[in-house]
Amino acid sequence: MDNNGQESVLETVQYQKSNFIISGKYKSSLLENKLMAISLSKLQYAEETSDSLVSRIKASELRELLKGNSGSFYQKLDEAARKMTGKTIGISNPEEKRFCYLAVVIMSKYENGEFIIEYNKHLKKYLCNIKQNFTILNLSLMLSIDNGYGFRLYELLKSKAYYPKGYENRTKSETFLVKYSVAELKLLLGIVNAELDTVQRILRDKEIPDYEKAVEVSPERMFESWSEFRRKVLDVAIKEINDKTDIRVRYDTVKGGKGGKVYEVKFYVTLLCIKNIVEPDENEDLSNIVDEDDAIDEIYRLLGNNIKSVRDARSIAKAAGNDLEKIRKAYRIYEAKKDVSNIVGFMIAAIEKDFSEPIKKKNSFTDFEMNRQMSTEEIDELEKVLLERQMAIEDII
């Protein structure tokens, strides 16, 4: 197959990656990450009953996908394979005195022109035929990323900013807020190696780890100042993401403490609508986009007892992309209409279809009217459709 043919096939190849693995704190090279992406794209077709989690990739295919030459490629593959087999992932709860750690890759080898990766079978539910809490990634897109920090940051942001089931075919791009402390971000990106003993002792010490202290005790010293971290890591990674992927990223910082130190990064992640790609407005006001908990609190404040469950509130927040202004606008429209049987469905409909705000009527007994772009019957029908969609959302929350 020629290069153009292979690239066109690659564009359609997607794979699942567990958010449990994406959110792991480990140090890895760009080549290791790409090898895992390729192997997971093949592993997803493993038989459900098979205990063997083996991914086989021909060396010729690897060189083609990774654009490596036969000379140095073998040495790089050897080094990446050695490092991949040493990584662990797990959980620790000191308060309950329990922990569990597992090696992700238990064997990687090259023989007879084939690269073989065997994954830990105890991680099967996180590696193939994943049922929940996973992110769908495009193999071609992932292999196009040439910056290691950009690769990891894209995975992290993509796992946090997504359309829930039933909302994937939107015709309008949405922006989500994702927040990380600077210390945790350094651990997630592998700038500070979370597998070092000194760092592990801190991370295992409490149920909620002290990331700041873990970074402080690390013997590794890279990008210690905020300005260096921003210039050499964040800005480079975000440029790579914005140039090559299906999301657009901007960020703000939060300062505090003595000297106004930057301790948190707020990422504004815009998911580009495939059917109608419109680049986000650089001057767009993002101050109304909050995290999910704050959006849910605002929904409860506005709707009170009309919200019967957190799932209902979450479905409204998801539809609004956690944008407070969209939520408040939908509420004002609901307040004007009053005779709404399905409040959750109506709020989602108002957000989804971007209903216009009610306007004052002159010489009328009523103060407001719905914008006549949609009839009452159309709105009622849309509410029914969105209620069904809401039920689908609950299946994955």
Identify the bridge partners of residue 178 per DSSP, sorted by sequence position: 267
The mean pLDDT of 300-329, rounded to a whole number, is 88
279-303 average pLDDT score: 76
Pick the CATH number of 145-285 from 3.40.50.720, 1.10.10.10, 3.20.20.100, 1.20.1250.20: 1.10.10.10
List the one residue out of 283, 280, 275 whose CA is nearest residue 176: 280
Same fold, 1-143 and 145-285: yes
Comparing 45-49, 141-145, 310-314, which segment has the lowest mean pLDDT? Answer: 45-49
What the block records as the tokens of 156 is 């992290």
Residue 186's pLDDT band (cuts 50, 70, 90): very high
Task: Work out the average pLDDT over 115-135.
Answer: 90
pLDDT of residue 23: 92
SS3 sequence of 282-336: CCCCCCCECCHHHHHHHHHHHHHHHCCCHHHHHHHHHHCCCEHHHHHHHHHHHHH
What are the extents of the domains in the chain?
A: 1-143, 145-285, 292-394
pLDDT in tens, 93-111: 666 677 778 889 999 999 9
- Cα 307 from Cα 286, distance rounded (Å): 26
H-helix or E-strand spanning residue 5: helix 3-10
**Mean pLDDT value across the chain:** 82
Instruction: Quote the CA–CA distance of 310 and 297 in Å, as a whole number.
Output: 10
Q: What is the pLDDT of residues 238-257, one digit of tens each?
A: 999 999 999 999 999 999 87
Topology of domain 1-143, CATH: Arc Repressor Mutant, subunit A (1.10.10)
- List pLDDT tens digits, range 108-121: 999 999 999 999 98
Rg of the chain in Å (alpha carbons): 24
* pLDDT tens-digit map of 13-57: 899 999 999 999 989 999 999 999 999 998 876 665 567 789 999
Identify the pLDDT of residue 208.
82
pTM recorded for the entire structure: 0.73
User: Which of 207, 223, 255 is CA-nearest to residue 215?
Assistant: 223
